[in-house]
Structures are given as C-alpha cells and as structure tokens.
Amino acid sequence: MDDLADVDLVVEAIAEELDIKTALFENLDEICRPGAILATTTSSLPVVDLASVTSRPGDVVGLHFFNPAPVMKLVEVVDTVATSPDVVATARSVVSRIGKVGVHCGDRAGFIVNALLFPYLNDAIKMAEGNYATTDDIDTAMKVGCGYPMGPFELLDVVGLDVSLAIQQTLYREFREPGFAPAPWLEHLVTAGYTGRKAGRGFRSYA
C-alpha cells in the first residue's frame, strides 16, 4: 500500500462489497498524495459512498471496466455530485490513452449498461421460472432473434450469479420497482453456492 503514496491515479478492483471498499478508500485517503485521483471499478455500488469516507470527494470517480477487462473496450466514467470536472476529464483522457472507449454517466445504480441489462436478465429468469420457455430456448431466441453474442443464461453464468444478484439487489434498493426484485431462482442458486462457470454450476453444469 505504501507504494501508492506518490502515484497520480489509483484504480480499486477489489471485492464488490461496500464495507471492504470503504475501508480501502479510507486507507487510500491517508496514503495517497493530495491531488491523486481515487477510482473504483464498482459495477453497481454508489460511488458517492466511497467518496464520502475521504477528505477529497472531488478526486473520487468511477471507472467501471467491463469483464474481461483485457478484451472488453468499454469503460463507464462515473461522476458523483462531488466529483471535480477536471478529474472527470483526466479519467476520460486516461481511458482513451489506454485504448478503451469511455462513456460518461452520473452516479446511479447500474450506471448505463447494468441499469439496462439486469432487468432484462432478471425477466429472463422469471420467464424460465414460470415454465414459459426453457433456458436453452430463451438463450437461442435472444441470440438468433436479436443477434446477441450470448443468451441471458449464458451471460449470467459468465458474469457470476453472486455478482448478478448483488447488482440486481442494488437496482431494487435504489429504484424500488417491483419488477427489479431479484428472481427467487437466482437467489436460491446463489444460496446453494451455484454461482456460475467459476463454481462449475449455475443455470447450467460445467463439470
């Protein structure tokens, strides 16, 4: 951690848990030099919650790299009500210089992509739960009918069902839309430890 004392930009990419991230940002605030930018790669947590535990909320910004970061080009640059405009400009410049495509958005649950994507994924789970169609047929329909590279269940297993559940819970807490409540099947799979490809089992088995 002490090696970060003189850097210009720190990008945090630790576990997607608010308590762990806030503790880190408190430490970074003490270690990093004045003027250093503190960025988080959170995919859904409020960036302002991390900014508020520092003495430099104007220097805190979201840089949501999409997974897998070496392959995916998109980075959401997220500013809070406290982020300084020059910090946003610097963050966007860095994103461009490393060959990524940056989009700028405000600090709301899910930002741009996940706010649009996860209600769709949640609806797909509810459709299968209701025996309206199988997971295989839903995946095929969305790939062939809409041109998506992966169907919703393939994507959920790649993202991780635990991560997906956390994002869906964050959306529901912020917007309180009844349709945003996580599908019970998703919650049950996570409780059972079936979190997708990384666990060898999610909506499908990868044994």
Q: How many folded domains does the chain comprise? A: 2
Q: Which domain does 175 fall in, by range?
A: 113-199
Helix (H, G, I), strand (E, B) or coil at 26: helix
| pLDDT at position 60 | 98
Residue 75 belongs to some domain of the structure: yes
Residue 170 belongs to some domain of the structure: yes
Instruction: Pick the closest to residue 50 from 68, 24, 72, 73 (CA basis).
Output: 24
Residue 204 belongs to some domain of the structure: no
Cα 95–Cα 11–Cα 102 angle in degrees, nearest 5: 20
Residue 82 belongs to some domain of the structure: yes
Q: Are residues 95 and 162 in the same domain?
A: no
> Over the stretch 3-51, which tens digit does the pLDDT of each residue have?
999 999 999 999 888 999 999 999 999 999 999 999 999 988 999 999 9
| pLDDT at position 68 | 81
Beta bridge partners of 102: 75
Write down the mean pLDDT value for the chain.
96
Q: What pTM was estimated for this model as a whole?
A: 0.89
> Over the stretch 64-111, which tens digit does the pLDDT of each residue have?
999 888 889 999 999 999 999 999 999 999 999 999 999 999 999 999
Q: Are residues 9 and 83 in the same domain?
A: yes
Any residues with CB less than 8 A from the CB of 67 and at least 6 apart, and which? 159
Residue 28 belongs to some domain of the structure: yes
Question: Catalytic residue numbers?
Answer: 64
Q: Are residues 117 and 91 in the same domain?
A: no
pLDDT band at 196 (very low <50, low <70, confident <90, very high): very high
**CATH number, domain with residue 141:** 1.10.1040.10
Residue 79 belongs to some domain of the structure: yes
Among the candidates 71, 106, 141, a domain finishes at: 106
Phi, psi of 60 (to 5 degrees): -105, 135
**CATH number, domain with residue 86:** 3.40.50.720
User: To the nearest whole percent, how much of the chain has pLDDT over 90?
Assistant: 93
Any residues with CB less than 8 A from the CB of 65 and at least 6 apart, and which? 13, 41, 72, 75, 100
Residue 73 belongs to some domain of the structure: yes
